[in-house]
């Protein structure tokens, strides 16, 4: 799994590339925690290039989401598709995670 | 045909029933593995490779099998390589059946898990996403940071033909029924 950060206005977009599985999901968690230490407050996690997620990946997203919510900062997860969407649906977390269909929509929602 | 109550309990609870037909090993293929955490996805692929190409969402099937093998390796056998995980399995275009057995003490927190899941489903039915925050991850004293604590929620939904433990609770049998193509008549 590869993680890239880019900036759009005040938003930090994390592009996740690869599989979010039991061997590497912790990397995303660690990255977000480091960014929080550096006072980043607005996160967009882009899962466009993620075709596989397991319970560790879902667990990492839950941890990130609950940490950011507690701090009253902003998070949006975007471009969920295929089996990643299915796993989130099976876990009944579609309503729990803040989700948009595209990065543009995520940026728009950040401004609202 | 099962009555409505049985159907609901099958869907919403993990059951213990050693006599379930899902534990019938007749005609199933068999593989066994050492409890090597690093190789869980590899072991899973060795099993999934016998699934026919017609099965859609093979990624999802692989993920769901990987979760059960992970539970056996990590929570059952505590990653002790000398302890084996045994898997019996059968796939065709209409179904996937698996039995996964470890050499551990068994899933002792099964009742606690069912109780936790019952509350989770209650909260979900109210669409109380604030309250859901306390019910997104099932933790025990042995859980660590890499345990999502959510695998069995999805398993119970995915394995639509049943997800059943044996009496010792160190083996779990499961069945997925795939939707069949409807052929036009006439």
Q: Do B154 and A91 touch (CB under 8 A)?
A: yes
Q: State the Cα angle at A34 between A76 and A44, rounded to 5°.
A: 15
Domains of chain A: 2-111 (3.30.750.24)
Q: How far apart are CA A84 and CA B162, in angstroms?
A: 23
Phi, psi of B33 (to 5 degrees): -135, 150
pLDDT of residue B12: 80
Q: What pTM, to 2 d.p., does this model score?
A: 0.92
Q: Do A58 and B59 touch (CB under 8 A)?
A: no
pLDDT of residue A45: 98
Q: pLDDT-derived band of residue B150, with 50, 70 and 90 as boundaries?
A: very high
Give the nearest chain B residue to A90 (CA atoms): B154
B-chain CB neighbours of A54 within 8 Å are 63, 66-67, 70, 148, 151
Whether residue B157 contacts residue B51, with contact meaning beta carbons closer than 8 Å, is answered with: no
Give the nearest chain B residue to A54 (CA atoms): B63
pLDDT of residue B129: 85
Nearest to A90 among B38, B149, B158 (CB): B158
Go through chain A and tell me how many residues it has: 112
pLDDT at residue B111 tops 50: yes
Q: Does any CB of chain A come closer than 8 Å to the CB of residue B154?
A: yes
Of chain B, the percentage scoring pLDDT greater than 90 comes to 77
List the pLDDT tens digit at each of the 112 positions of chain A. 999 999 999 999 999 999 999 999 999 999 999 999 999 999 999 999 999 999 999 999 999 999 999 999 999 999 999 999 999 999 999 999 999 999 999 999 998 8
- The alpha carbon of residue B166 is apart from the nearest alpha carbon of chain A, in Å, by 23
Residue by residue, DSSP assigns B22-88 as GG--TT-EEEEEE--GGGHHHHHHHHHTTS-TT-S-HHHHHHHHHHHHHIIIIIITTT-TTSEEEEE
Using the 8-state DSSP alphabet, how is residue B155 labeled?
Answer: H
Q: State the Cα angle at B32 between B30 and B33, rounded to 5°.
A: 150
pLDDT of residue B145: 81
Q: Do A62 and B150 touch (CB under 8 A)?
A: yes
Condensed to tens digits (0 to 9), the pLDDT of residues B11-63 reads 689 999 999 999 999 999 999 999 999 999 999 999 999 999 889 899 999 99
Q: How far apart are CA B184 and CA B181, in angstroms?
A: 10
Nearest to B136 among A52, A54, A96 (CB): A96
Q: Do A62 and B148 touch (CB under 8 A)?
A: yes
B-chain CB neighbours of A53 within 8 Å are 63
Give the strand pairing for B95-101 and B84-92: antiparallel
Tokens in use for A39? 């006072």
The ranges assigned to domains in chain B are: 4-106+159-177
Topology, domain B4-106+159-177: Heat Shock Protein 90 (3.30.565)
Beta bridge partners of A14: A5, A45
């Amino acid at each position: 799994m590869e993680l890239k950060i880019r900036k759009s206005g005040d938003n930090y977009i994390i592009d996740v590339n690869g599989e979010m599985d039991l061997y590497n999901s912790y990397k995303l968690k660690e990255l977000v925690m480091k960014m929080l230490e550096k006072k980043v407050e607005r996160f967009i996690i882009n899962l466009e290039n993620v075709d596989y997620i397991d319970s560790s990946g879902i667990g990492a997203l839950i941890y990130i989401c609950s940490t950011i919510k507690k701090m009253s900062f902003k998070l949006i997860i975007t471009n969920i598709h295929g089996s990643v969407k299915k796993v989130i649906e099976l876990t009944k977390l579609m309503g729990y995670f803040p989700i948009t269909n595209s990065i543009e929509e995520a940026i728009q929602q950040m401004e609202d | 045909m099962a009555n409505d109550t049985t159907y609901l309990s099958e869907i919403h609870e993990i059951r213990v029933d050693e006599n379930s037909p899902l534990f019938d090993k007749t005609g199933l293929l068999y593989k066994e593995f050492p409890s090597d955490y690093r190789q869980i996805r590899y072991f899973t692929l060795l099993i999934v490779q016998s699934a026919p190409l017609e099965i859609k969402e093979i990624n999802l099937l692989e993920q769901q099998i990987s979760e059960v093998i992970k539970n056996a390796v990590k929570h059952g056998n505590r990653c002790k390589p000398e302890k084996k995980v045994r898997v019996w399995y059968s796939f065709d275009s209409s179904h996937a059946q698996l039995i996964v057995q470890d050499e551990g003490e068994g899933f002792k927190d099964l009742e606690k898990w069912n109780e936790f899941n019952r509350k989770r489903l209650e909260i979900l039915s109210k669409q109380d996403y604030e309250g859901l925050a306390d019910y997104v991850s099932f933790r025990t004293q042995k859980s660590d940071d890499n345990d999502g604590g959510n695998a069995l929620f999805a398993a119970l939904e995915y394995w639509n033909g049943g997800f059943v433990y044996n009496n010792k609770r160190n083996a779990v049998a499961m069945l997925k029924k795939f939707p069949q193509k409807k052929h036009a008549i006439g």
